[in-house]
Structure 1
Amino acid sequence: MLATFVIGLREGLEAALIVAIIATFLRKNGRRLTTMWVGVVAAVIICLGVGITLKVVESNLPQRQQEAMATVIGVVAVLFVTGMVLWMSTHARELKKDVESAASSALGSGTSRALVLMAFLAVLKEGFETAVFLLATFQAASSTRSAVIGAALGIGASMLLGVGIYTGGVTINLGKFFTVTSGFLILIAAGLVVTALRTAHGAGWLNAGQGRTVDLHWLAPPGSVRSAVFTGVLGIPADPRLIEVLGWLLYVVPLAAIAYWPRAHRPDAAAKVFLKVLIAFGCLVGAATTFVAVPRAHLTAPAAAPVSDAAGVSAGTISLDGSTLRQSAGERTTLRAAGDAVVAGVRTHHLVATPHPGTTQPTTLTLAEVIALNGGRPPVGMDPALNPGPYAASWHRQDRIDVWTTHGIVYAASRQSRLTVQLTGGGLRSPRTLTVSSGAHLPAGVTAPAPAWTVPSSYSDDISARLNQLVNQQDSAHFWGRVVPAGLVFVAVLLLVTAGRDRRDLSQTSRTTQDESSSSRSTAHA
Structure 2
Amino acid sequence: LGIPADPRLIEVLGWIAYLIPVAALTYWPRALRPDPRTAQWLRGSLAVAFAALAVGIAALWPQPQVTLPDHAPRVLEGDVDTSAGPDLRLQGEVLEMGATRVDLTGAEATPERHLGLPSLHREVQSQTEIAGAPGQIDLATLAQLAGGRLPVGVSPARNPGPFVAEWTRLEQVTVWTAGDALLDAQGRSAVTLRLSGGGLTTARTLRVDMAPGGMATGAWVMAPAAAQDAADALRSVRRARIEHQFWARELPVILFLIALALAASALARARPTPFFPARSL
Question: Which TM-score bucket, shorter chain as reference?
Answer: 0.5 to 0.7
Q: Does 1:399 align with 2:185?
A: no
What is the match of residue 159 of structure 2? 390
Instruction: Indicate if the aligned counterparts of 1:338 and 1:351 stay in contact, CA closer than 8 A.
Output: no
Query: Shift of residue 418 of structure 1?
Result: 1.8
Where do 1:107-506 residues align within 5 Å?
A: 209-210=4-5, 241=9, 244=12, 247-248=15-16, 251=19, 254-255=22-23, 258-259=26-27, 261-310=28-77, 311-315=79-83, 317-319=87-89, 331-334=98-101, 336-339=103-106, 341=109, 342=111, 344=114, 345-347=118-120, 354-358=127-131, 371-377=143-149, 389-390=158-159, 397-400=168-171, 402=173, 406-414=178-186, 416-420=188-192, 434-438=206-210, 447=212, 450-452=215-217, 453-504=220-271
Partners in 2 of 1:422 and 1:351 — Cα distance?
23
Query: Shift of residue 211 of structure 1?
Result: 5.7
Query: Shift of residue 291 of structure 1?
Result: 0.6
Q: Deviations over 1:480-511 (max 9, x none)?
A: 1111111221221222223222211xx235xx
Query: Shift of residue 470 of structure 1?
Result: 1.4
What is the match of residue 156 of structure 1? none
Query: Shift of residue 294 of structure 1?
Result: 1.8
Instruction: Indicate if the aligned counterparts of 1:417 and 1:449 stay in contact, CA closer than 8 A.
Output: no
What is the match of residue 149 of structure 1? none
Instruction: Indicate if the aligned counterparts of 1:277 and 1:495 stay in contact, CA closer than 8 A.
Output: yes
Instruction: Indicate if the aligned counterparts of 2:123 and 2:172 stay in contact, CA closer than 8 A.
Output: no
Q: Mark the CA change 1:264 to 1:369 in structure 2 (over 3 Å): closer, same or farther.
A: closer
Instruction: Indicate if the aligned counterparts of 1:326 and 1:333 stay in contact, CA closer than 8 A.
Output: yes
What is the match of residue 56 of structure 1? none
Partners in 1 of 2:56 and 2:72 — Cα distance?
39
Q: Mark the CA change 1:280 to 1:349 in structure 2 (over 3 Å): closer, same or farther.
A: farther
Q: Mark the CA change 1:352 to 1:269 in structure 2 (over 3 Å): closer, same or farther.
A: farther
Partners in 1 of 2:121 and 2:36 — Cα distance?
61
Q: Deviations over 1:78-112 (max 9, x none)?
A: xxxxxxxxxxxxxxxxxxxxxxxxxxxxxxxxxxx
Instruction: Indicate if the aligned counterparts of 2:130 and 2:168 stay in contact, CA closer than 8 A.
Output: no
Query: Shift of residue 279 of structure 1?
Result: 1.6
Q: Deviations over 1:392-439 (max 9, x none)?
A: 999773433756654544333456432345899xxxxxx997532218
* Equivalent residue letter for 1:390: N
Q: Mark the CA change 1:396 to 1:211 in structure 2 (over 3 Å): closer, same or farther.
A: closer
Partners in 2 of 1:299 and 1:339 — Cα distance?
30
Partners in 2 of 1:242 and 1:434 — Cα distance?
61
What is the match of residue 230 of structure 1? none
Instruction: Indicate if the aligned counterparts of 1:404 and 1:411 stay in contact, CA closer than 8 A.
Output: yes
Query: Shift of residue 471 of structure 1?
Result: 1.6
Instruction: Indicate if the aligned counterparts of 1:413 and 1:455 stay in contact, CA closer than 8 A.
Output: yes
Partners in 1 of 2:103 and 2:19 — Cα distance?
55
Instruction: Tell me the SS of whatever aligns to 2:51.
Output: helix
Partners in 1 of 2:227 and 2:67 — Cα distance?
14
Partners in 1 of 2:104 and 2:142 — Cα distance?
39
Partners in 1 of 2:19 and 2:93 — Cα distance?
53
Instruction: Indicate if the aligned counterparts of 2:166 and 2:195 stay in contact, CA closer than 8 A.
Output: no
Bigger radius of gyration among the two: 1
Q: Mark the CA change 1:373 to 1:495 in structure 2 (over 3 Å): closer, same or farther.
A: closer
Unaligned runs of 5+ in 2: 197-202
Instruction: Indicate if the aligned counterparts of 2:166 and 2:194 stay in contact, CA closer than 8 A.
Output: yes
Once superposed, what is the RMSD of the aligned Cα atoms?
4.8
Provide the TM-score with structure 1 as the length reference: 0.39
Instruction: Indicate if the aligned counterparts of 1:393 and 1:423 stay in contact, CA closer than 8 A.
Output: yes
Partners in 2 of 1:273 and 1:383 — Cα distance?
101
Q: Deviations over 1:440-499 (max 9, x none)?
A: xxxxxxx46842454223322322222222122112211111111112212212222232
Q: Mark the CA change 1:388 to 1:493 in structure 2 (over 3 Å): closer, same or farther.
A: same
Provide the TM-score with structure 2 as the length reference: 0.66
Partners in 1 of 2:188 and 2:214 — Cα distance?
9
The answer to which structure, 1 or 2, has the higher relative contact order (CA under 8 A, 6+ apart) is 2
Instruction: Indicate if the aligned counterparts of 1:354 and 1:401 stay in contact, CA closer than 8 A.
Output: no
Instruction: Indicate if the aligned counterparts of 2:54 and 2:256 stay in contact, CA closer than 8 A.
Output: yes
Whose helix proportion is higher, 1 or 2? 1
Instruction: Indicate if the aligned counterparts of 1:337 and 1:351 stay in contact, CA closer than 8 A.
Output: yes
Q: Mark the CA change 1:348 to 1:274 in structure 2 (over 3 Å): closer, same or farther.
A: farther
Q: Mark the CA change 1:339 to 1:283 in structure 2 (over 3 Å): closer, same or farther.
A: farther
Instruction: Indicate if the aligned counterparts of 1:209 and 1:243 stay in contact, CA closer than 8 A.
Output: no
Query: Shift of residue 321 of structure 1?
Result: 6.0
